[in-house]
Amino acid sequence: KQEVTQIPAALSVPEGENLVLNCSFTDSAIYNLQWFRQDPGKGLTSLLLIQSSQREQTSGRLNASLDKSSGRSTLYIAASQPGDSATYLCAVPSDKLIFGTGTRLQVFP
Amino acid sequence: NAGVTQTPKFQVLKTGQSMTLQCAQDMNHEYMSWYRQDPGMGLRLIHYSVGAGITDQGEVPNGYNVSRSTTEDFPLRLLSAAPSQTSVYFCASSSFLADTQYFGPGTRLTVL
């Protein structure tokens, strides 16, 4: 049974820092992996979808990497800003979408 | 494109009442799903649909009913509301399960 975990659970950093959020999955036979952000009181917004054949995917200041063999994905946020404050979730498709436990990020000025 | 829309945004019900949460998408997506999100429980799948006329149960289907008569709409019905159904409900759509998922803004439901 696929299980997805994220560390850390919470992170508080000053503006400008480069960040790494981690996502681990137990079954390496994944089709792809998605990263989402969720702002308080809002729905999820898809940030990046990285296919199983890809090693990296980039969008602006965000870079997601995928290492299937080790069951890990990282989301790198460059030059963090207060507007990046949100909860970040990773998810992998199985018989349904399996979501990670989430990382709550706070970036303070 | 409006994306995924949900109505209402907020709703308060009394125990035993019924209601329908509306979800619509204008992206011609085949796959649609309903989740509930509770503190400390993450997102849990209630029902999903892989196309018009096809629905199936997720992890927590009891007390909820769905139908999919068109590609665009996927309403969620609460048959007899219970306080345990107090939650935030999200609808999502995609071309297929493993494709990019688009979420609606959510409906915050309180059952007294």
Asked if the Cβ–Cβ distance from A43 to B97 is below 8 Å, we say no
Tokens representing A19 are: 């960040």
Residue pair A93/B98 in contact (Cβ under 8 Å)? The answer is yes
pLDDT, one tens digit for every residue, chain B (112 residues): 789 999 999 999 999 999 999 999 999 999 999 999 998 888 999 999 999 999 999 999 999 999 999 999 999 999 999 999 999 999 999 999 999 999 999 999 999 9
Q: Which of B47, B50, B96, B97 to mutate to test the interface with A (most CBs of A within 10 A)?
A: B97
Alpha-carbon distance of A63 to A50, in angstroms, equals 10
pLDDT of residue B2: 85
> What residue type is assigned to position A29 of the chain?
A
Interface of B with A in 32-51 (CB under 8 A): 33, 42-43, 45, 48
**Torsion sign, CA atoms B59, A89, B37, A12:** positive
pLDDT of residue B106: 97
Closest CA to A44 of B1, B34, B92, B36: B92
User: A40: which residues sit within 8 A by CB, 6+ positions away?
Assistant: A86
